[in-house]
Chains A and B, each alone.
Chain A
Amino acid sequence: MQQESMAREGQSGKAKTTARFRQGSAIRQLWETNLEVFQRDKMALFGLFIFAVFAVVAILAPQIAPNDPLNPLKNNEGDWIKDAMPYWLAEPGEDEAEGYTNTFLLGTTNIGRDIFSQLIHGSRSALLVGFSAAAAVAVIGTVIGLLAGYYGGWVDTILMRAADVAFGIPFIPFIIVISAFFDPSIWNVVIAMALLLWRDTGRVIRSQVLVIKEQAFVSAAHVSGASDLRIIFVYIAPSILPLSFLYGSFAIAWAILTEASVSFLGFSDPETISWGYMLQDAFNSLALSREAFYWIVPPGLCIMLTVMAGFFIGRGYEEVLFPRLRRM
């Protein structure tokens, strides 16, 4: 379902309008487009801000987190501090009776791990998976779209039939199978996403390349004797890069959501804390029937915030690249 929405999310203007292209040197036009996205669209800027905050949290995680995310906390007698409520919810005096001081912002898990520290550390895998999967998807999709659009003929046929195959493979089931067959690691999600999700980016970029390659500056490059690869990567690529950024931003969002789903289903590395893993832990240890909202709500909110950040940035690119949508 995600792949379909990814296609739609980024597609609203695709069929109707051709992306707007700038004149001038390649680097400058790229820079100007990016600048325009964040200057024009406050929501895109807000998305960038969310990522920046989580990036700082991820980098400083060991300093911010008050406790180790995996080691159970112990009371004076050396027993695990199981299922402690957050200190602002717990009965006063309960902690002293149990032989510990409750300083836990979000309580502890059923085996006495500090939930707040897990939340802080979870930002690492979310951003790592989100950005590397998005980069892989954008790069593969861009290169395939460029090659298919530029060369046409059998290259195009093979690549686009491969995209058809990728569109027929169910995304989450594929990732589950891949994750189960290889050693558990967050990179499985990245690899599986890279193998499948280039299809949307590839198709859209191909159709843009078909338009660009008919333009005068490309013919001029041909006449002046530039090689195919030079034309593709020096002349055509800079014009479609903003489109890759658009799809890349949406891919960050899908990657974070997908990683969460896969971890929730129990196919992630148990040594790596992620928000999806925390929710799986809560689900399996019956936190739901204990109505432990303090355990269930925060990881989901973090996922939602980072995913929305990706959406906001993607929409910002959409508005600049497809100006017809802007007034809507």
Chain B
Amino acid sequence: MNRGVVYYILGRFLQSVMVLWIIVTLLFLLFRLAPSNPLASYIDTTFTKQQEAALLARFGLDKPLGEQYIIYLFNLLKLDLGETFSYSGKSVMDILRADLPNTIYLTLSSLLLAYLVGVLGGIAMAALRGSLLERVGTTFTLMTRAAPQFWVGMLLLTFFAFQLKLLPSSGIGPPMVRYRWETEWDKLMSPVFWRHMILPTFTLALYLHGLPLLLMRSNMLEVLDQDYVTMSRLAGYSEWRVMIQTAARNAMLPVLTALTLGIGYSIGGNVVIEHVFSWPGLGRTLVRAVQQADYPLAQGAFFFIALIIVFMNFIADILYSLLDPRVGATAQAQVS
């Protein structure tokens, strides 16, 4: 790795930190736009003026805006996101820490499934170029991208959970089972958990597979045109070997970058799926927090999702620059 690349990565990192800082500032201002006093849902009408003032002071809401902002930034650095209004006695961090793994399991398993199917499907579509099967396949993929995820989820729920009664309809497991999960490991080892994950994972993967499939297909077609592919054909390698070993390996690179970006954006977009399947993750918590005017929790969940997106964007940039030497070169030119 040459120095240009190191400087590029460092520059990108600082840029990401700046972006995150601006987002956090916007978030702070956005939540000051909230229609009512942030404690409105918390303060009982029977509270006296003193009690109300004491409560405001406890949450630091009596201080001037600038001071609140500074406190907010320092707390974020310590990953202290404050206390929730609606879950008594729990900090925002407690709740989000419990949600995050669920969101990650769902996102990663559906992305894995989607990219596996997408990459293989893309290769197949490229190999079948011009055939009827290719047209049917591509049209189906376009349809899955146009269908609202929550609607597909509703249809699958109605069919598999209510009509056939094959799969559970919501959540990650009945309370009696959840009670026995003391660690994340227990949860992951539980067949009940995996049974609950089937429908949401499949719904999400059905939507997500379109991007890698279409990307892989057009990359394959591009690569198949290159001289080195023609060369290996002329060298007498089997069509199978040309497709998989030569073409697919090279066509994969942009798909990997897309996967990195996909992790970030799926976590932000999972909101709807988590709502349909009552999946206890970051997205569902965000929706409920906004509905219940639990602003610290909503702000915290939003921050978490933005943090993941910015981080994954950064990783994707780096991957891209490492995989594509031309980007590294321009990066070097920009730095020097």
Contacts and interface: CB of A to CB of B under 8 A. Distances in A.
B234 interface: no
Contacts of A267: 290
Contacts of B275: 264-265
Interface stretch (A51-59, A131-139, A297-305): A297-305
A85 to B, nearest CB: 15
A173 B147 contact: no
B166 interface: no
Interface residues of B, number: 67
Contacts of A176: 271, 286-287, 290
A181 B35 contact: yes
B143 A279 contact: no
A264 B272 contact: yes
A304 B306 contact: no
Contact of B154 (A168, A253, A283): A283
Contacts of A103: none
Interface stretch (A62-70, A142-150, A239-247, A287-295): A287-295
A325 interface: yes
A112 to B, nearest CB: 22
Contacts of A289: 162, 169
A328 B220 CA distance: 10
Contacts of A293: 158
A232 interface: no
B302 A261 contact: no
B176 to A, nearest CB: 22
A172 B290 contact: no
A8 B275 CA distance: 26
Contacts of A2: 265, 269
A181 B268 contact: no
A191 B210 CA distance: 28
Contact of A303 (B151, B157, B163): B151
Nearest to B204: A1
Contacts of B268: 1, 170-173
**Interface on chain A toward B: helix, strand, loop, or mixed SS?**
helix
Contact of B291 (A253, A266, A279, A307): A266
Contact of A261 (B19, B22, B150, B215): B150
A170 B154 contact: no
Interface residues of A, number: 52
Contacts of A177: 30-31, 290, 298, 302
Contacts of B149: 261
Which of A4, A282, A291 counts the most chain B CB atoms within 10 A?
A: A4
A169 interface: yes
A300 B35 contact: no
A264 B148 contact: yes
B128 interface: no
Interface in A1-44: 1-5, 8, 12, 16
A16 B154 contact: no
B23 interface: yes
A5 B262 CA distance: 9
Given A1-B268, A265-B287, A260 B148 contact: yes
A5 B222 CA distance: 20
Contacts of B143: 304, 308
A279 B305 CA distance: 26
Which of A1, A180, A328 counts the most chain B CB atoms within 10 A?
A: A1
A3 B265 contact: yes
Contacts of B261: 4
B218 interface: yes
Contacts of B158: 288, 291, 293, 296
Contacts of B150: 260-261, 264, 279, 283
Given A176-B271, A283-B276, A4 B265 contact: yes
A304 B146 contact: yes
A259 to B, nearest CB: 10
B154 A288 contact: yes
Interface string A143-181: 000000000000000000100110111111110110011
5 contacts: A1-B266, A276-B148, A303-B151, A304-B143, A308-B143
Closest 4 CB pairs of A and B: A1-B269, A170-B268, A300-B151, A307-B146
Interface of A: 1-5, 8, 12, 16, 161, 164-165, 167-174, 176-177, 180-182, 253, 257, 260-261, 264-267, 276, 279, 282-283, 288-289, 291, 293, 296-297, 299-300, 303-305, 307-308, 311, 325, 328
